[in-house]
Amino acid sequence: MYLSTILSLALALSPLAVSARGTLGFSLGVRRPDKQCKTVADYEADFDALKDNAGSTIVRTYMIKDTNVPEYPCDVPAAILPAVKAKNFKVILGLSADTQEAYDAEKAALLSDLTPEYAPFVYALTIGSESLYRNVTAEELLPRIKDAKTEFGKLVPRIGTVDSWNKFADGAADAILTSGVPTFLMVNAFGYWQGKDITDATATYLDDLQQAIGHIQSIVGVDTIEIWNGETGWPGDGGSPYGSAKAGTVNEKTFFKTGVCAALAWGVDVFYFEAFDESWKPKSTGDTGAQGDETHWGAFTESRVPKFALTC
């Protein structure tokens, strides 16, 4: 199953993509352990750790105005854009878009932060993060993607959305795919959140990617839209189990070395979730409704120490 899954994934990718190794990026939190917003210096230290230990020079974020801790609202671009410029990194900026009101507020904030000075360091914009997974329809999300393309397309040519693999595979995103609007998509896939034992997690992860990428390319063609794996990962020591999926740094290392490295070897660009542990975060809810710990998902500790060698 493992070999056939990898071969299926390879067939779903363009010949050009398979000819080169994929790029490894990291999902990046925007808060310090004390819940306050990261500063430019904090981001610069993050980037040094990622480059020195993983050779990575690209990160992604999720919101323009992060209000997950109401007493400490974060203007993410205001701090991260000077840092990516200083360290010659790239960032994919996410805009919350589950509602029109949320999108309008995110757009207004980004319009004031994103200037031509910083545009070369913004690799892409993603409109919505698993919005379809949370029952926003493609027909509702599409106008927001289209509007972002109109507002920011001259500065940032890659604009699209990111969602769970099954929302691409089952046709829920087809109205977006057939519109000709997005130029960039990210597919999230986790063996862990499907409750798979570590021995089955890599095969599940690669098969899910294959199903999503294959469906996308069956509609838009091979070279029309740039596709990344937007999230994958495994919780380390201190994390909670989810079905047969058991947290632990040994399993996290195993998944990285077998799953992430396999996808990279076949030319898939992968964002690992996530860069650093985040002790401030609340619990998250998976497909079955059970809650899981999300404070120990980092490839690094909060003090920026890698948990294992981040090499393939």
Q: Which residues are catalytic?
A: 130, 231
Phi-psi region of 88 (alpha: psi -120 to 50; beta: other; left: phi over 0): left
Q: How many CB atoms sit inside 10 A of residue 243's CB?
A: 16
147 by DSSP, 3-state: which? helix
User: What SS3 class is residue 146?
Assistant: helix
Number of C-beta neighbours around residue 173 at 10 A: 27
User: CA-CA distance, 10 to 302, in Å (whole number)?
Assistant: 35
Number of neighbours of residue 311 by Cβ within 10 angstroms = 12
| Separation between Cα atoms, residue 148 and residue 73, nearest integer Å | 23
For residues 141 and 159, what is the distance between their CA atoms, to the nearest angstrom? 13
Residue 273 amino acid letter:
F
Report the C-alpha gap between 234 and 272 in whole angstroms.
Answer: 9
3-state helix, strand, coil in the chain (%, to 5): 40, 20, 40
Distance from C-alpha of 113 to C-alpha of 61, rounded to nearest angstrom: 15
Paired tokens of 257: 């070395």
Residue 183, CB-side half-sphere exposure with 13 Å CA sphere: 14
